[in-house]
């Protein structure tokens, strides 16, 4: 297997549908070992449409490029209440990526 799995978490804002299920949003990524490309992604938003939209935004992006462009992509395209939490979860998952990358160097 040439991939690995990492996750990031952030607290959801009040008044969100997903808040009735979870206190935080979780972003999970399957990453290519060699290039850090996001092969697949999921998140704990309440609707299937929201989860699929975030997956589409994340897949194909290489974390080797850093996290700033990915955050900009979320800011530009995702206008839901969970935007700040999703961005924070992405930053958290990127921190996990950096730790894994450092250990595998």
pLDDT digit string (tens) for 38-52? Answer: 999 999 888 899 999
10-29 average pLDDT score: 73
Of 24, 81, 28, 76, the closest CA to residue 55 belongs to 28
Q: With beta carbons less than 8 A apart as the criterion, state whether 90 and 67 touch.
A: yes
**Residue 48: what pLDDT?**
94
Model confidence at 32, pLDDT cuts 50, 70, 90, reads very high
β-sheet with 38-43: strand ranges across: 3-11, 24-32, 38-43
Which residues does residue 5 pair with via DSSP β-bridges, in sequence order? 30
Domains contained in the chain, CATH given: 3-99 (3.90.1010.10)
% residues pLDDT > 70 (the chain): 90
**Residue 98: what pLDDT?**
92
% residues pLDDT > 90 (the chain): 70
Mapping DSSP to helix (H, G, I), strand (E, B) and coil, where does residue 58 land? helix
Model confidence at 58, pLDDT cuts 50, 70, 90, reads very high
Residue 17: how many CB atoms within 10 A of its CB? 14
Q: Which residues contact 32 (CB under 8 A, 6 or more apart)?
A: 2, 3, 39
Mapping DSSP to helix (H, G, I), strand (E, B) and coil, where does residue 74 land? helix
């Amino acid at each position: 297997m040439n991939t690995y799995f990492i996750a990031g978490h952030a607290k959801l804002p009040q008044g969100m549908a997903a808040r009735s299920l979870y206190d935080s949003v979780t972003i999970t990524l399957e990453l290519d070992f060699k290039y850090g490309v996001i092969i697949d992604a999921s998140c704990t938003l309440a609707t299937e449409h929201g989860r699929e939209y975030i997956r589409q935004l994340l897949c194909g992006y290489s974390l080797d490029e850093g996290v700033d462009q990915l955050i900009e992509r979320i800011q530009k395209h995702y206008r839901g209440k969970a935007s700040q939490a999703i961005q924070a979860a992405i930053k958290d998952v990127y921190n996990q990526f950096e730790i894994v990358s450092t250990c595998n160097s």
